[in-house]
Each structure stands twice: as C-alpha cells, then as structure tokens.
Amino acid sequence: MADKQQTEHVHSACARMTNLPISTKHGVEISNHFRFKKTAFAKVYLEEIMHLKKALPFTKATMDLGHKPGMGSGRYPQKAAKFFLRLIQSAEANAQYKGLDINSLVITKLLANKAAIPFTGKRQRFKTKRSHIEIEVTERKEKTSKKESSSVKEKSKVEQKPKAKKTMPG
C-alpha cells in the first residue's frame, strides 16, 4: 500500500502551513482562483496583489463588495497573498529537492481550512482569525501543438493498408 502511494506521487510535491493569522474567506477565494494554474503565474499574480496592482476576483463572498477595474467584484487580500506566496515558494523548493522541473509545475491541490480559534484579550474576549493552507504541485509536460499532432495522425493513416472490400454473395 505504501509503495503504491509513493509511485503515484513521484512527480508531485506538497507543502503545508498551519495556524496562520489570515481570514479563511480570503484563503478560500485565493485557493479557488489559483487551483490548476502554473506556479509561475500564481507567484506573479500574488506579487501584483501585494502591490495593489491587480485585484483578486471574489466569487463567493460578494455581498456589498465593490467592482474593480476589468472584473466584477474583487479585493486586495495582501496579508493572505503574502502567506500564499511563501507557501508556493516552499512547495517549489520541495519539488526542486525531489528533482522536478520547476518551470513545468502546476498547482493540483490548493485548499484553505478554518483552524482552531484562540480567544485573546482580558475582559472582552476577542476571537482571532486562523487558517490552515495546503498545496500540492505536480510536474506536467507541455502538450504538443495541434499541427504536430495532426502531422503524426496523417503519417499513421498513410502507413495503414487499405481494407479489403467485403462483397455480398449472390
């Protein structure tokens, strides 16, 4: 059983951060936006969020949320973006240690969960925001272009022999 799991995840690496002081809502929105995207794209986009150049489109929590230029409702979750950027860099370092090609990494699993809520303060107890985030990146090979694949199909059709005609007895 353990051997099967190791062979399945040969071309992947993962990283996890726990008890982060970020909003779970922001973590979920970031996770939904960057899942199944390349890590290079995610890093550039997160940098732009941190410098308030690009907004992150919000899809779930949009009540009373203003529109941003070039998109619908969105925000700039800078604090959460900083932690997600560190998480992606950690996952890339783990992938490099495993011998994977960093340029072809795709985020296959990215999720944010709500963590235990510690109460802080003295008389009036205030809840603080805590989240767990987890990432898994997989090495994906580039797909061949349509022209290359169509030329391969044409060659295979030429190499096949024509089928003999079936005749009806009679």
131 has which bridge partners?
20, 114
Give which of 71, 67, 66, 111 is closest to 87, Cα–Cα.
Answer: 111
Which pLDDT value is given to residue 120?
72
Look at the alpha carbons of 21, 24, 25, 27 in this order and tell me if their dihedral is positive or negative: positive
For 54-71, letters b (16+ CB in 10 Å) and e give: bbbbbeeeeeeeeebeee
Q: What digits encode the pLDDT tens for the residues 33-60?
A: 999 999 999 999 999 999 999 999 999 8
Domain boundaries, the chain: 11-159
Instruction: Decide which of 3.30.2000.10, 3.20.20.70, 3.90.470.10, 3.40.718.10 is the CATH code for 11-159.
Output: 3.90.470.10
Q: What digits encode the pLDDT tens for the residues 96-130?
A: 999 999 999 999 999 999 999 877 766 776 778 89
pTM of the full structure: 0.77
Please tell me whether residue 31 adopts helix, strand or coil conformation.
Answer: helix
Q: What digits encode the pLDDT tens for the residues 126-153?
A: 778 899 999 999 998 876 666 665 555 5
